[in-house]
């Protein structure tokens, strides 16, 4: 595999991708929409997009992923997709009966310029049902941008201020970012342990990790409800986790309903989890409970017990920007050297809502005195070339990393989205102190398994 990747860096000016490290907006939008209770995501475009996105999510979550499509034909592409959308809305309510339809566009409907709000206004929407939309052109950003746009639409369509001016209710909005349902559960658990009320949106837990009951539920019990989404406008405060996936919605909510927000890293690793809990503690003037102190203490204990396994080990990390940034910080805290860090998502400029991925990671590396390659809008061909030039002890990333891991014979820890070739990942959190424990387990297992495999008989030891 990958026998075609040369070591010498070749000139790449075309802007094309070889072995992409990202995919397109609509799949992120579809995932975010699944985080609303009783919602059917609707793909406004031709059938292939919807089919590919459902397949991709199905493979990662191993649960039925429902979404409808406008089934564009040549006619719709020439005369506009408005009629198709109106028919779709009618048909979806008639047969699938969701409470909410979340429409996202595709590169096709964006390019022909379909006016989605007008089509929605002209549609027959049954009493008590809701239709909303996000524009998600596939030729901008990545799947993370799509997640961000759909989450932002939840604010622009639904958030409202019910309380009198300046009054706020004592709860926090949490925007979890593009993470697995298990991570959303873990973030909620941490918040509950702090004794703080919250609304999380979107929340795919209970939707894409629904329990087996012997029945097929088109709309499993999970997901943020529309009344909850409306109520977000009365919160004391918003925490957005992961700038790329979540900050835009937090900014909109601040603008629309004057809810202050703080933008944090995904709480992956000890430092980011500390920051998340401290933000809650500060805003609600509450104490960190003993239970969480204990979890943190256990994590520190394990980090101490294992630090010598990690120290000085070179690691390459790739994937979605929000989780890669947090993972880089965690690896640094373990004494590892993240020498190659890459995301496929375009990086944005420093200071804008999207923040500068490269600047942020470089700043972390500089502070730790690590010299490394950092790139946004990169592809796995580039990552492979870097690794050929400066080999690493460990590769961390999504399933697509397995090619490089095999080609270069590097231990590999699966992390992020998508993971298509291993089960259970969506059920196991990597966030919070417990998530950090699991990451340590995975990373040290990968490194020590490798030690065992490579050890000569005389060096093969029982205790490590």
Q: Which residues, 132 to 171, sit near other proteins by CB under 8 A?
A: 137-140, 142
Shortest reach from residue 241's CB to other proteins, in Å: 25
Q: Does 8 bind other proteins (CB under 8 A)?
A: no
C-alpha atoms less than 13 angstroms from C-alpha of 266 in its C-beta half-sphere: 29
Contacting residues for 14 by C-beta, under 8 A, at least 6 apart: none
Count of residues touching other proteins (by CB under 8 A): 84
Residues 81-100 that bind other proteins (CB under 8 A): 84-85, 87-92, 94-96
Site for other proteins in 369-428 (CB under 8 A): 400
Residues in the chain: 464
Among 7, 9, 55, 197, binds other proteins (CB under 8 A): 55
Binding string, residues 215-254; x marks residues near other proteins by CB under 8 A = xxxx------------------------------------
SS3 298: helix
- DSSP class of 217: -
CB of 335 to other proteins, least distance (A): 34
User: Strand, coil or helix: what is 105?
Assistant: strand
- Pick the closer one to other proteins by CB: 110 or 295: 110
Residue 9 sits in the site that holds other proteins (CB under 8 A):
no
- Please check whether residue 204 is in contact with residue 179, taking contact to mean a CB–CB distance below 8 angstroms: no
111 binds other proteins (CB under 8 A): yes
Tell me which of 34, 39, 42, 253 binds other proteins, using CB under 8 A: 42
Residues in contact with 224: Cβ distance below 8 Å, sequence separation at least 6, in sequence order = 35, 36, 37, 154, 199, 200, 201, 202, 203
Q: How does DSSP assign 176-208, residue by residue?
A: --S--HHHHHHHHHHHHHTT--EEESS--TTTT
Q: Using CB under 8 A as the criterion, what x/- string covers residues 283-312 for binding other proteins?
A: ------------------------------
Burial status of residue 369 (CB atoms within 10 A of its CB: 0-12, 13-18, 19 or more): exposed
> β-pairing, 314-319 with 337-343?
parallel
Of residues 70 and 149, the one with the C-beta less far from other proteins: 70
Beta carbon of residue 229, minimum distance to other proteins (angstroms, whole number): 24
Contact between 104 and other proteins by CB under 8 A: the answer reads no
Query: Cα 25 from chain centroid?
Result: 12
Binding to other proteins by residue 22, rule CB under 8 A? yes
From 166-174, 210-218, 301-309, 318-326, give the range in contact with other proteins by CB under 8 A.
210-218
Given the rule CB under 8 A, which of 59-67, 149-157, 178-186, 296-304 is the region that contacts other proteins? 59-67
Contact criterion met (CB below 8 Å) for 21 and 380: yes
């Amino acid at each position: 595999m990958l026998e075609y990747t040369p070591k010498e860096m070749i000139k790449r000016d075309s802007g094309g991708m070889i072995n992409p490290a990202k995919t397109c907006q609509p799949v992120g939008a579809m995932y975010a929409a699944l985080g609303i209770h009783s919602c059917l995501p609707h793909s406004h475009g031709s059938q292939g997009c919807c089919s590919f996105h459902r397949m991709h999510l199905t493979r990662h979550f191993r649960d039925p992923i429902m979404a409808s499509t406008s089934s564009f034909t040549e006619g719709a592409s020439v005369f506009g997709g408005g009629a198709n959308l109106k028919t779709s809305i009618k048909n979806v309510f008639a047969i699938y009966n969701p409470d909410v339809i979340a429409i996202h566009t595709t590169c096709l409907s964006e390019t022909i310029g379909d006016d989605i709000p007008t089509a929605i206004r002209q549609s027959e929407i049954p009493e008590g049902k809701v239709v909303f939309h996000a524009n998600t052109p596939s030729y901008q950003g990545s799947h993370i941008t799509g997640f961000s746009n759909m989450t932002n639409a939840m604010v622009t369509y639904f958030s409202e201020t019910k309380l009198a001016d300046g009054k706020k209710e004592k709860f926090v909005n949490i925007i979890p970012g593009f993470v697995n349902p298990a991570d959303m559960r873990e973030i909620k658990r941490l918040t509950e342990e702090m004794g703080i009320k919250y609304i999380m949106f979107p929340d795919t837990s209970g939707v894409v990790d629904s329990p087996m009951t012997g029945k097929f539920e088109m709309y499993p019990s999970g997901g943020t409800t529309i009344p909850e989404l409306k109520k977000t406008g009365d919160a004391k405060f918003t925490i957005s986790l992961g700038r790329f996936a979540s900050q835009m919605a937090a900014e909109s909510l601040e603008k629309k309903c004057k809810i202050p927000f703080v933008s944090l890293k995904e709480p992956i690793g000890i430092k980011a989890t500390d920051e998340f809990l401290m933000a809650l503690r500060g805003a609600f003037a509450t104490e960190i409970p003993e239970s969480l102190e204990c979890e943190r203490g256990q994590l520190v204990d394990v980090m101490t017990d294992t630090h010598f396994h990690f120290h000085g080990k070179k690691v390459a990390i790739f994937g979605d920007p929000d989780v890669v940034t947090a993972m880089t910080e965690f690896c640094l805290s373990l004494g590892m050297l993240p020498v190659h860090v890459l995301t496929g998502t375009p990086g944005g400029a420093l200071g804008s809502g999207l923040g500068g991925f490269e600047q942020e990671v470089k700043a972390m590396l500089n502070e730790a005195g690590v010299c490394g390659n950092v790139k946004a809008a990169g592809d796995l061909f580039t990552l492979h070339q870097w690794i050929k030039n400066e080999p690493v002890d460990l590769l961390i990333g999504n399933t697509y990393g397995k090619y490089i891991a095999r080609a270069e014979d590097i231990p590999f820890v699966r992390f992020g989205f998508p993971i298509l070739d291993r089960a259970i990942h969506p059920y196991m959190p990597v966030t919070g102190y417990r998530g950090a424990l699991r990451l340590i387990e995975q990373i040290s297992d990968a490194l020590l398994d490798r030690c065992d495999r490579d050890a000569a008989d005389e060096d093969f030891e029982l205790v490590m």
